[in-house]
Amino acid sequence: MTGAAAMAGTGPVILGVLNTTPDSFSDGGDYLDAERATARARELTAAGAHVIDVGGESTRPGATAVPRAEELARVLPVIRAIAAAGAAVSIDTIHAETAEAAVAAGARFINDVSGGLHDPEMLTVAARASAEHDSRYIIGHWRGIPDPEHVRSNYGDVVREVRDALAARALAAIAAGVAPSHIVIDPGLGFDKTGEQCWEILRRLGELQELGYPVLIGASRKRMLGDALATVPGAGSGPLDRDGATAVVSALASRAGAWGVRVHDVAGTAAAIAIERAWAGPDRGDRITLTGLEVFAHHGVFDFEREQGQRFLIDAEVSVSLRAAAAGDDLSNTVHYGELADAIVAAVAADPVDLIETVAERVAELALGYPGVSRARVTVHKPDAPIAHPFADVAVTVERERSEA
């Protein structure tokens, strides 16, 4: 993935969708012919795609499964041609046999929307690709073959449940031999999730990023966008009418720190991201992230909390330009994360307060005091909070900029 990251610069990696299928929801049949598909790949690259994501079987709700021989016949000639031209290629498949053949043909990403749940051999193939070809494995979240009626979209907290499921699949991939640095996670927008659940995931994208893996967002032309546009006068109702909305999501995902976006209209997304980058200013994308820092402290509303103390877990993300540090390989031009960790532990363990909101504010103010830090995002977790019901965690997140300090 190194090449794709370098091409993307400070913005997200753009995966250009290339469906060699007759039944994809927005462009089915357009690029079924290998020659036309290859020409389309060149167009996507010229428009700004860093990776071409080639799929030979539709995963839309209600789609018909394709025999492996047919899927391979659709994708392999295209992958060989694109890879030979020097482009980075991804194979969009839920089948291990197809993934393995695609990697042998030159693909360096395996984009599996099932996260290895559909084909038990997929993790083995992904591990081999990781070790032998430096390939990345994109782990998607789903609950099975997409259901058009959303009967499996029953979540208590969709973000927490998707995050936990992705964390489990990532650990399974690592146990199979996939290098942790080769894992990307995708929340699977539209896969057994209602439109509102998809928007909730995007609003709370930071909670997925806390897992420590790059996050890919694939909202392009999906129904959630059509639903959001339904009340806009003059807005079309078809998938192709959603490209403008897709570009907006791409720009917002860029601002939120997504690793990549998967889109059909590459030119529109590339333009939107360029505007977002210009608005944000240089080096907006540079960050140092520290997660899961454990501190024992005595904060709380109740007397026993202050007397006995309890665990707190701290996540801190600071925005700081890293250009000078990287250019000179000089620690003095960046934030020493070891010193930052020591300072956070001392700040959290200091005089007791009632609210973890106050603790979060204290840490954010501390982080903004470091030279060059323009923004701080701090989450304080209180996993042992005195709550009378089973729960996994309670946390408070604050985001502060230097101008607010």
Instruction: Indicate which residues carry an active-site annotation.
Output: 222, 262
258: left (phi > 0), else alpha (psi -120 to 50), else beta?
beta
Q: Distance between CA 78 and CA 35 in Å, rounded? A: 8
Residue 149 neighbours by CB distance under 10 Å: 8
At position 25, the amino acid (one-letter code) is F
- 315 pairs with which residues across the strands? 379
CB neighbours of 351 closer than 8 A, spacing ≥ 6?
Answer: none
Residue keyed to tokens 């989450």: 379
b/e per residue, 111-130, with b = 16+ CB within 10 A? bbbbbbbbbeebbbbbbbbb
DSSP 155: -
Task: Report helix, strand or coil for 81.
Answer: helix
Separation of first and last alpha carbons in the chain: 38
267's tokens: 């030119």
Tokens 């994208």 correspond to 205
The contacts found for 3-6 with CB under 8 angstroms, 24 or more apart, are: 3/88, 4/50, 4/51, 4/88
DSSP character string of 127-153: HHHHHHH--EEEEE--SSS--TT-TT-
Place of tokens 């025999």: 67
Separation of alpha carbons 310 and 299, rounded Å: 8
